[in-house]
Structure 1
Amino acid sequence: MRFRLLGPFAVEEDGRPVRLDGNRARCVLALLLLNPGTLVPVERIIDEVWGDAPPRSVRTQVHAQISVIRRGLRALPEVEVRTHATGYLLRVRPDEIDVAVFRQLTRQARAEAALGRPIAAAEAYRAALRLYAGPPLGDLDAPFARAEAGRLAEERLAALTELIGLDLAAGRHHELIPKLTTLVERHPLHEPLWRHLLVALHAAGRRSEAIACYRRARAVLRDELGLEPGRELSRAYRDLLASEGPLTVDPRGDALDRALTRLARVERMLRDIRRELELGEPSR
């Protein structure tokens, strides 16, 4: 790949860096790379790169930065910045841009998972995640760069979470517990990670720690967002409570804990009743 945005911004040719001077030129090129083959209006470039208070000469500055970009890309003759009446369009192959390759690999991974091919899905996720070399657009200073960096970080976290789900299904719960513990510290509001940690602890036989994990997640979500855990995390907790083995629930637990415990017991009773009905009762 010639264009790298998933980390410090870089342009390369045959593994050698292509020099591109100036933060503004690098930001304009990064914006065009995030919209390959799409006409980006000059007004949008101004808003995204210069922000709310551009200088009066900003249009002249945009044209100047495009000239800098064109000089820098001379070593890449098949890459071209085209001028249109209202803006600019970057002609480049998507497979030369790491963001586009990352998104293609994650689409491939999800398709493989949907087709029931978890090993191929995991390989595609790992290939996608290897493209990240640090915080996305980490050395660019522009309004769009900060917002886009957040979106790209969220895409990485989503792919990582889905890969962990595949690894858990493959039985790798013991080795994933330390990683998940670190991840929930970094992303305490990301419920799927809490769910994965709960499932991993439960599968590893660490049931009381799994219960504590749920309670901590619930406390964080309530304190930070004013919300109860979502359906998937709550279902994982109910499955935990309904599982075999002694239930190590603190009797001083709150109302939801007690309600979930009662629900698990009722569900076990209903399963027993259905089993007896299936076997047949003696007639009276």
Structure 2
Amino acid sequence: MPTTATIGQPTVTTLTHREREVLYAVGCGLTDAEIASALALPEDAVDGHLARILAKLELRDRAAAIVHAFDCGLVVPRQGPREAANPVPRTVIRRAREPQVGISMLGPMQAWRDGQPVDLGHLRQQAVLAALALCPDRTVSQQELLDGVWGMEPPITNVVPVYIYRLRKILRRENSTDSVIQRDRCGYRLVPGAVEVDVTRMEELVAAAGTAGRAGELTEAVRVCTQALDLFRGELLAGLPGPFAELERLRLTERRIALVQRKLDWQLRLGRHSEATAELRALAVEQPLNEPVAVMLMRALYRSGRQADALTVFDRTRRRLADDLGVPPGRLLRQTHQMILRGCDADLGLAPTTP
């Protein structure tokens, strides 16, 4: 019979096999470093798995995850995992793990197998893999790969199967005959659950941050949002050719900017105006025509006691909008300017500055 804590709450059946392993290890009281060692994972990957577990099971923190692991029968005091309908192996801890394959695209494209970097070959071959990794929930046809990687200049020969063959060999896990790339009658796709992709992890962290934000846990939302942003590491998909990579480069750039804005908005709501100012300044330099960023920077400066600097931001943004786009400031930017001129703190909609 379910315990009170589990009634109406998502169960471990909603988790992937790896997530159940991590939840079991958390329930056993292991630290992230110990879990990383036991499961042959990078320590930051453990943190990402835990964030996804908390989001899927609608749990607030690690302590709640430990309680849930016991309540659902995954961990039994002094006995190890209970043999239930969806158990994890008893050997989950301190057992040699299957080598993992990872792909990172939030910067120059990289891949690793069993924790070791691998050479993905030349840039067009990497672009084929990127197209598969960025379409994780569907099959990508050969024609889509040709159009996305070569555009209007398709190759003379049918090189896509050759590239797929090479990538299968490069990414094949040690002592395994299984490929992480599968083919069906419609095309190619990555085997679900066989590859860790940093873009997927970033989106899962964003979802977890959103859940925390909607629950009013703004400090936790900022923490998880920062983890998502830490996955970005330079020029996105650097050097990869083709229209698909170019569109994804733009999309991911916009995603990062929106994520920075969300995090900074939460910081401002927490009253961390001085803390947010430096990052807002950098973002304003990067996005000089982004009016919401200018508004947040003006509010942060004003609530930090820097009214003149806030008004300077308005003047600079107004000039850039006129010179570059030939348009006046938008309504929100003008209203914020007027509120700062009048000293209308309440109308700025910000939390009071923390001591």
TM (norm. structure 2) is 0.64
Out of 240, 246, 271, the position equivalent to 2:340 is 240
Out of 166, 169, 191, the position equivalent to 1:68 is 166
Structure 2 counterparts to residues 50-199 of structure 1, below 5 A: 50-57=150-157, 60-75=158-173, 77=176, 80-93=180-193, 96-199=196-299
Q: Is the 8 A contact 2:274 2:300 kept in 1?
A: yes
Q: Which runs of 4+ in 1 moved over 3 A?
A: 76-79
Deviation at 1:244, TM superposition (A): 6.0
* Equivalent residue letter for 1:23: L
Deviation at 1:41, TM superposition (A): 1.2
- Structure 2 distance, partners of 1:118, 1:180, is 18
* Equivalent residue letter for 1:43: Q
Q: 1:224 to 1:95 in 2, by over 3 A?
A: farther
1:96 match: secondary structure: strand
Residue of structure 2 equivalent to 1:275: none
Residue of structure 2 equivalent to 1:271: none
- Structure 2 distance, partners of 1:79, 1:157, is 35
Q: Is the 8 A contact 1:94 1:101 kept in 2?
A: no
Number of aligned positions between the proteins: 244
- Structure 1 distance, partners of 2:220, 2:334, is 30
**Gap regions ≥5 residues in structure 2:** 1-44, 46-101, 348-355
CA RMSD of aligned residues (A): 2.2
1:75 match: secondary structure: coil
Deviation at 1:241, TM superposition (A): 2.5
**Gap regions ≥5 residues in structure 1:** 246-263, 265-284
Q: 1:79 to 1:198 in 2, by over 3 A?
A: farther
Structure 2 counterparts to residues 194-209 of structure 1, below 5 A: 194-209=294-309
2:159 match: secondary structure: helix
Deviation at 1:236, TM superposition (A): 2.2
Q: Are residue 21 (structure 1) and residue 121 (structure 2) matched?
A: yes
Greater C-alpha radius of gyration: 1
1:88 match: secondary structure: strand
Q: 1:95 to 1:114 in 2, by over 3 A?
A: farther
Deviation at 1:79, TM superposition (A): 5.3
- Structure 2 distance, partners of 1:69, 1:168, is 46
Structure with greater contact order relative to length (CA < 8 Å, sep ≥ 6): 1
Q: Is the 8 A contact 1:105 1:124 kept in 2?
A: yes
Q: Is the 8 A contact 1:8 1:134 kept in 2?
A: yes
Q: 1:114 to 1:7 in 2, by over 3 A?
A: same
